Structure 1
Amino acid sequence: MSVVDLTRNLARVPSHEDATAAGDLLEEWLRRETDATVTRDEVGNVLARKGAGEETLALVGHHDVVAPADSQVGPDGEYLVEERDGRLYGRGTADMKGAVAAAAIAFRDSEVPDTAGSPARSAELVFASFVGEEVGGVGARHAIDEGFAPDYAVVGEGSTGYSASGVTDVAVAHKGRRGSTITARGKRAHASEQEAGENAIYRASDAVDIVRELEPPAVDVAGERLAGSVVVTEIEGGTAMNVVPDRCTVTVDERTVPGERAPLEDVTDIDGVEWTVDQDLPPMECGDEAFAETVLEAADGAQTGAPELVTKPHATDAGWLSQAGTDCVICGAAEPGEAHTDTESVSTDVLERCVAIYRRVAETWPR
């Protein structure tokens, strides 16, 4: 089965609310097509292992997707997948069932060095497709909690078209996202006697002023400036036109970078103000230059374009793996602007390219 066929089959299976059926397809395919040890954990992650050695290299993806547009669903409830002009169109083709299929094919076809054959390059190769990436990394976090700890990982999120159109690059860092809520509390009073109360909206406004003055951290990675950001995105408070409000909430979206965080806790210096973190998707930075260069060499050897080490603007499961101690890079078929769209698509040539890249890495690392 080709990577295009496997992508098509996998992309047809609905997996925005429940990824079980897509996981079933992957598990059955791996059991049929490989002699690897295949497991399925209690949340639905699909893992396969082969080879033996002190170091572990994982090819990582996820088979859940965001909700499709009506135009992407057929009358029978399956997702529609169409091939035209060298691309596969359909929900999940880019994010990221195409890369999952490429990783599965590469896992099947790679000849992994073992202790008996080459002690200097003994390694275990792992295929892992997680659930719940689109809702905060549920599957990756569960796997890590259960002991999933590869030394190295190639995460197949999109890295094509960053340095130049059509070129599949290697991302060595990405931003994270911290979503938080500032809650200001006061004392309710009649608006005609405002001095009898404590205006929660005023306290929230003072907190917003602090947020506006924060200088988000930034780091230099792969010749790029990866800059964080902090922005107020929602505010809610008050109950009536003639009542001094006793509560006001402010939502903050923060894009984080490896290293320091913006000191949002400073808002708690204001009387009556609390700050709580609602979501914290970690950033990622590859800590092993040799591994990143190996993947870059593999990418260079699989295409005519000249790939580069780049950074990505948004969080992936690589953040959770990196936080747990895995050296990660991101290398995948999807291009910027394809994921989550009503016209989502992926290049079939680039899918084939990703198979070649993943195989080259699996068969050359560790050195």
Structure 2
Amino acid sequence: MSSLASLTRDLVSIPSHEGESAAGDFVESWLRDHTDAAVTRDDHGNVIAQRGDGDASLALVGHHDVVPPDESQVDADGGYVVEEREGRLYGRGTADMKGCVAAAMLAVRDADPAGELVFASFVGEEQGGLGCQAAIEDGFAPDYAVVGEGSTGYSAAGVTDVAVAHKGRRGSTLVAEGGAAHASEPDAGENAIYRATDAVDVVRDLDFPSTTVLGHDLRGSVAVTEIEGGSAWNVIPERCAVTVDERTVPGERAPLDRAETVDGVAWRVDQDLPPMACGDADFADTVLDAVTGAQDGAPDHVVKPHATDAGWLAEAGTDCVVAGAAEPGEAHTADESVSLAVLERCREVYERVAETWPPA
């Protein structure tokens, strides 16, 4: 029998920041060897498994790719360093999110599912959800999903909550075009930086988008984060580009197209990661009941500030919540780690939800 700590350690030790195939091989082989699930590996590298049947399907969703590791997280042979200290497992991917992938694998093995239980570990989440998008295009469409991204430490330290919504991210660029001229004769040209700053003024005056999800307020943001323009100190700039970071909320977007009312300014969207909102209060409450029963704390429904694959699933029609072990600030760091006790809690939660949803 695989313990959660050893399974997580084995999975975390496999490098998966440049290529996910080895980690996917491990997940696929383990599921074939230790469960009676029907396991598939699609053309994109996603690992998907199915157990049980019923009128509604519940998916336990994660990803086995990671961001590039810090030098301290790689050993001399190129493998990932994994260390256990004081009840925590340290290493790239422990928190984001191989620990909860391992917890979901054990839940798939051990649960007596109430309906169709689906497991999915995607590739390319750190590249904007490429694997999840591809799976959806190929027909992946569970009715419900628990996405194992971090939801611990939001309502109180150490408490695992249930995120019923999260923000998305729309990254875009405002490009101002002008006309070059010698700086000693500025009126002979059209200063692209001036046009860009006029567009920035438009952005600065925009209201932040906001909405309410299951009684919880979710407020987005809009911020100019980069500006680039000009070619020399004595040349009127003919081009200037401005980067805009927008954190989106379900159903609302900031009207960034208003910046195009400035002469010579065009707006383009470079990345659009969708937000998530759970539309089924009963499902959200069922997961909260499971989380409450698995710990001593008093968890709550919360909202997350950043995008996950739950956004792509929700956009495609799946009712999602996020429930996982990672705490704010743990992921993507040189000392990334996860609490083994909280991982065990999440394994219990996933198993409980699988055995109670959908309701009879």
Per the TM superposition, whether the score is higher than 0.5 is yes
The match for 1:39 is: 40
The match for 2:331 is: 339
Once the two structures are TM-superposed, the CA of residue 221 in structure 1 deviates from its matched residue by 3.3
Q: Distance in 2 between matches of 1:225 and 1:203?
A: 35
Q: Distance in 2 between matches of 1:124 and 1:25?
A: 23
Q: Distance in 1 between matches of 2:332 and 2:313?
A: 23
The match for 2:125 is: 133
**Residue 228 of structure 1 pairs with residue 220 of structure 2:** yes
The match for 2:358 is: 366
The match for 1:320 is: 312
What CA deviation, in whole Å up to 9, does each residue of 1:161-208 have, x standing for no partner?
111111111000001111000000011122222222111111101000
Q: Distance in 1 between matches of 2:284 and 2:9?
A: 30
The match for 1:268 is: 260
Q: 1:179-194 alignment to 2 at 5 Å? A: 179-194=171-186
The AA in structure 2 aligned to 1:345 is S
The AA in structure 2 aligned to 1:239 is S
The match for 1:195 is: 187
The match for 2:64 is: 63
Q: Report runs of 4+ in structure 1 exceeding 6 Å deviation.
A: none
Aligned length: 358
Structure 1, 190-199 or 284-293: larger mean CA deviation: 190-199
Q: Provide the secondary structure at the position in 1 that maps to 2:185.
A: helix
Q: 1:1-367 alignment to 2 at 5 Å? A: 1-113=2-114, 123-367=115-359
What CA deviation, in whole Å up to 9, does each residue of 1:30-67 have, x standing for no partner?
00001111111111100001111221100000000011
Q: Provide the secondary structure at the position in 2 that maps to 1:192.
A: coil
The match for 1:118 is: none
Gaps of 5+ in 2: none
Q: Provide the secondary structure at the position in 1 that maps to 2:321.
A: strand
Q: Provide the secondary structure at the position in 1 that maps to 2:327.
A: coil
Q: Distance in 1 between matches of 2:281 and 2:94?
A: 30
Once the two structures are TM-superposed, the CA of residue 223 in structure 1 deviates from its matched residue by 4.7
Q: Distance in 2 between matches of 1:174 and 1:138?
A: 18
Q: Provide the secondary structure at the position in 1 that maps to 2:136.
A: helix
Q: Distance in 1 between matches of 2:312 and 2:78?
A: 33
Q: Distance in 2 between matches of 1:222 and 1:86?
A: 35
What CA deviation, in whole Å up to 9, does each residue of 1:218-268 have, x standing for no partner?
123355432111111111111112211111100011111112101000011
Q: Distance in 2 between matches of 1:352 and 1:253?
A: 36
Q: Distance in 2 between matches of 1:205 and 1:160?
A: 40
Q: Distance in 2 between matches of 1:235 and 1:46?
A: 41
1:222 touches 1:311 (CA, 8 Å); kept in 2? no
2:214 touches 2:281 (CA, 8 Å); kept in 1? no
Q: Provide the secondary structure at the position in 1 that maps to 2:75.
A: coil
Q: Distance in 1 between matches of 2:224 and 2:345?
A: 41
What CA deviation, in whole Å up to 9, does each residue of 1:269-303 have, x standing for no partner?
11111000000011101000000000000111111
Q: Distance in 2 between matches of 1:192 and 1:112?
A: 76
The AA in structure 2 aligned to 1:19 is E
The AA in structure 1 aligned to 2:21 is T
Once the two structures are TM-superposed, the CA of residue 2 in structure 1 deviates from its matched residue by 1.0
Q: Provide the secondary structure at the position in 2 that maps to 1:14.
A: coil
Q: Provide the secondary structure at the position in 1 that maps to 2:292.
A: helix
Measured on the aligned residues, the alpha-carbon RMSD in Å equals 0.9
